Amino acid sequence: MQLGMVGLGRMGANMSRRLVDHGHQVVAFDVNAALVERAAEDGVTGVKSLEDLVAALDPPRATWCMVPAGEPTRSTVDALALALDQGDAIVDGGNSNYKEAQASSARLRERGIAYVDAGVSGGVWGLKNGYCLMVGGDTDAVARLEPLFRDLAPPDGYAHVGPSGAGHYTKMIHNGIEYGMLQAYGEGFALLNAAEEFDLDLHQVAALWNHGSVVRSWLLELAELALAKPAEFAHIRGFVEDSGEGRWTVEEAIRRSVPAPVIAASLFARFSSRDDERFGARIVAALRNQFGGHRFFTEAAAAEEAKDETADAAGIVSAPDQPGEPA
């Protein structure tokens, strides 16, 4: 089957390659010409514009938009729609908001162009293992594109989950669950690491839990891989981004009055990870000093304490700050 792939980032490039490996013809475009050239080495037919991509496909055409959600996806879908004809189809695999998917589907339907929203999970491992596909859209359009979906997915890894918007909604909730699972693993391994008296081998524990434990999972297998290289792990900052789906999931929980405290807390934990000097914590420290006389640290005091810790580690004992205080 033919497919026009727009976007050759980590996901789009690997998906194109997987489809080529399964005998499909993929014509691809990306604004980064170097990515197009690289994809051509894997059997993909590269083109220089969206118009060239559409011209290279036989009607009824199938195109796949695999660019970041938001304005990049909106502008790409609109540009594709101008070049396509009645009976053609656009698959949006960019984790768009499900409400935008519903609006795009209605808008394109007026022009006779099918819009299919596909939630895609699998990350960089999808090339080898296949991608879990959660697809929303009209039955006829989805049925025509099923050969692509089935070859991208592992056995039983594809489902038509409902009408327009259902694919992205399902993927949004999937990612919200992912937030909670990642946070639970992170907190658990932090506690293991804090038990210094046991000198636990965290890689050993991760490997152990992957055999018969009720918390075994693919995420835990990935934790095992990450902890197998402690020198590399030591250089990773605890700065965690969010791509939007977790926020949308929490917003949906509020809108639908469904309690989702774990997902909400995991989202806020990501916000906290980006703030090296949290204003809220400074307020708490100041208030504790005001009502209870509890000491607080200024930047100068924190730097002095860090210097003292360095000296202690070198075997140098610093003098007491005040007479009568232990060193």
Measured distance CA(105)–CA(93) in Å, rounded? 14
Measured distance CA(122)–CA(52) in Å, rounded? 30
Active site residue 307: no
Q: How many CA within 13 A on the CB side of residue 313?
A: 6
Burial class of residue 11, CB neighbours in 10 A (0-12, 13-18, 19+): buried
From the candidates 51, 71, 178, 277, which is the catalytic residue?
178
Q: CA torsion sign, 96 to 102 to 106 to 109? A: positive
- How many secondary structure helices (H) and strands (E) does the chain include? 15, 8
From the candidates 41, 51, 171, 251, which is the catalytic residue?
171
Active site residue 48: no
Q: To the nearest 10°, report the CA torsion of 298, 304, 308, 313.
A: 90
Question: In whole angstroms, how large is the CA radius of gyration of the chain?
Answer: 26
Measured distance CA(163)–CA(99) in Å, rounded? 12
As annotated, the active-site residues are 171, 178
